[in-house]
Amino acid sequence: MKKPFVTKAQIEEIVKKYPTPFHIYDEKGIIENAKAVYDAFSWNKGFREYFAVKANPNPVLLDILRSVGCGFDCSSMTELMLSSAVGASGEEIMFSSNDTPAEEFVYADKINAIINLDDFTHIEFLEKTIGKIPETISCRYNPGGVFQMSNGIMDNPGDAKYGMTKDQLIEGFKILKEKGAKRFGIHAFLASNTVTNEYYPQLAGQLFELAVELKEKTGAHITFINLSGGVGIPYKPDQKGNDIAEIGKGVHEQYDKILVPAGMDDVAIYTEMGRFMMAPYGALVTKAIHEKHIYKEYIGVDACAVNLMRPAMYGAYHHITVLGKENAPLDHVYDVTGSLCENNDKFAIERSLPEIEKGDYLFIHDTGAHGYSMGYNYNGKLKSAELLLKQDGSVELIRRAETPKDYFATLDCLSVSAKLNKIIDEEK
């Protein structure tokens, strides 16, 4: 069973200062996991994990990861700005975007981030935009078709909008080299949220063979290979999680088998694991505030899809623990719902749980990645606070909850803004 990293007693103390709902993160778990990743790839001198900022763009959490050696994978201007704000620069930042606006390439170049080109046409676009081709450059690869492993088809790269074909990559490397590029990287993302130790080693084998071919056909000096993300977590309690040590070992075997004999034993390995790095170390804590008995049994909570949209958007499973009832029998079946005017605003459907009473606190697991960051403001709902459970047991506010004033802030160009501010002041 999944075990919460906070107790009911801790939450009862926390809510005296910070009311539910809120996301809370486990500093100790984040650091220990990041160190395990670095241990798994310690055989590679140039290894670096570039945390996918889109998974959780909180600067306090980014700073924690940077303290153990992580860089940042960015895909937008604001993600680049956040990374820069916590002190990252140069090759600590990988800029992997698509349909990229010119001003974002300009800013990425300004802070000397590694630019990872998604499309062949972006070579010319980048040169015209920033007036040069950087000496260090990366290109994203899409092999097409489907990606298969021993347990079947994992994903369909051929249907994805990302990356270049092999022929485009070969031609692109030649052009980039002619235009002054000296250090090259390869990047690929072929499957999402894999819960198998096979994924990275199999992907690595494909990319290592591609790197050897690119070196032979273009003469490019390939200095890094970025395996991107895709290493997932076991959202369901009966799933077996990935073993990062075994994954690192498998990549090492492919490295020694393919790159070393080709004289490419100086190639650095990069990863971009947002979900694996952060998801298990975050949770959404929400309170049961209503119950409803019609054709089904419903528990209404004070969170909604604004706080965690994965279940509504994907039908994704997030395990739920009723704090204080961890060992109680799962003898009630509920839909756990939020308050949006959408019937898919449900954190669980027909889920076996202990009997839930109004006032109980629900700990929704694995929201550390793609939880808060995917939030929105439908129905005028406001995004919740984010808290950090520190290693010493104290709790720190790392993002305050939104207020109505935040929600209406972008209406300051209209005369109605003054009326809204007056209403807000009257309700305080």
**Nearest by Cα to 144 from 154, 134, 157, 131:** 157
Residue 341 annotated in active site = yes
The top-level CATH class assigned to 27-278 is alpha beta
Angle, nearest 10°, between helix axes 102-110 and 122-130?
Answer: 60
Per the DSSP assignment, residues forming a β-bridge with 153 are 148
Letter for the amino acid at 365?
H
In this prediction, residue 423 carries a pLDDT of 84
- Look at strands 136-140 and 147-149 and give their pairing: unpaired
Token reading at 350:
């027909």
- φ, ψ for residue 144, nearest 5 deg: 75, -175
In this prediction, residue 153 carries a pLDDT of 47
What global pTM score does this model have?
0.94
Stretch 76-84: mean pLDDT? 96
Residues 6+ apart with CB under 8 A from 400: 385
Band of pLDDT at residue 162, cut at 50, 70 and 90: confident
Run of H or E including 26: strand 22-26
Half-sphere exposure of 308 (CA within 13 A, CB side): 35
Letter for the amino acid at 253?
E
pLDDT above 90 (res 237): yes
Contact 363, 4 (CB under 8 A): yes
- The domain spans of the chain are 27-278, 280-399
In this prediction, residue 152 carries a pLDDT of 57
Stretch 277-304: mean pLDDT? 98
* pLDDT mean across residues, the chain: 95
CA 207/CA 141 separation, integer angstroms: 9
Angle, nearest 10°, between helix axes 27-40 and 244-254?
Answer: 20
CA 286/CA 136 separation, integer angstroms: 46
Please give the full DSSP string across 30-71, using - where no structure is assigned.
HHHHHHHHHHHTTTSTT-EEEEEGGG---HHHHHHHHHTT-E
pLDDT above 80 (res 150): no
Tracing tokens 């009966």 back to the chain, one arrives at 238
Domain spanning 280-399 has what CATH number? 2.40.37.10
- Reported residue count of the chain is 428
Residue percentage of the chain with pLDDT more than 70: 96
Residue percentage of the chain with pLDDT more than 90: 90
Residue 120: burial class (beta carbons within 10 Å; 0-12, 13-18, 19+): middle
In this prediction, residue 145 carries a pLDDT of 64
Convert the pLDDT of each residue in 243-257 to its tens digit: 999 999 999 999 999
Which entry of 74, 304, 341, 413 is annotated as an active-site residue? 341
In this prediction, residue 148 carries a pLDDT of 65
CA 334/CA 225 separation, integer angstroms: 46
Residues 6+ apart with CB under 8 A from 233: 193, 195, 241, 242, 275, 276, 279, 280, 366
